Each structure stands twice: as C-alpha cells, then as structure tokens.
Amino acid sequence: MNRKVIATAAFFGFTGIILGAFGAHGLKKIVTPELVATFETGVRYQVYHALFLLFIGSTALLADKTKKVILALVVAGVILFSASIYLLALNEQLNFFDFKKIGWVTPIGGLVLIIAWLILFINVLKKK
C-alpha cells in the first residue's frame, strides 16, 4: 500500500511542477492574469496533496485500510478540484466543451479533500 501511495504522490508532484511551470510561463500568453491565478490555485492544491500523500505513505500511524481510503479520496479530490480548475481556466482555449457547465464539481472536490484530512485527524486522535 505504501508504494502505491508514494507513487501517486510522486505523480501528483511531478505533474504539479510541470503544470506550475506551464502556468507561470506559457499560460500568461494566452489567458488573463485572473485565470493564471485560478490555474495556480489548482496547482498549489495538487502539490499540497502530493506532499500529504508522501506523509500518508511514510507513516506507521495508520492502518493500510485507512491509507487506502485516504488515497482514494485524495485522488478523487485532486481530479475534481484541481483538474476542474485547470479546465475552467482554459475554458476559452478548449473549444470542444463548455467547462463552466461542470464547475460545480470543484467545491465537491474540495470537500472530498477535506474529508481525507479529517480521516487522518480522527485516526491520529484514536491512536493510543
């Protein structure tokens, strides 16, 4: 389980760095500064959760079952939150679908990420 969690953390980490570089250098040429800031929010939360998963995969405080639940929640949360933000920021450039129609998934993704942290909090408090 730890290998899977840390591999996912590494994936979110390196893709977050790539997307951050794109946002800082390439995106400024094609969207407004407000949309760049929006995109950077998605990157920031993706990288935060890469670090979170590194901790989850490295700690002995949690059972594998709990790590599996947290991993699933973080993956779903990053996809719903960060990926939806990326698509919303690039909505004008991606002419095949109006991503504003699915903007409602962003706060759901944020809630899923909060639940993952809450599970960590509860499990740490239950430890003797």
Residue 102 in tokens: 């699915």
- In whole angstroms, what is the distance from residue 11 CA to residue 5 CA? 10
pTM attached to this predicted model: 0.92
Share of the chain above pLDDT 90, in %: 76
Name the more confident of 100 and 18. 18
Lowest-pLDDT choice from 25-29, 35-39, 76-80, 108-112: 25-29
Cα separations in angstroms, 104 against 72, 81, 85, 94, 97: 20, 10, 11, 18, 15
- In the prediction, which pLDDT does 128 show? 79
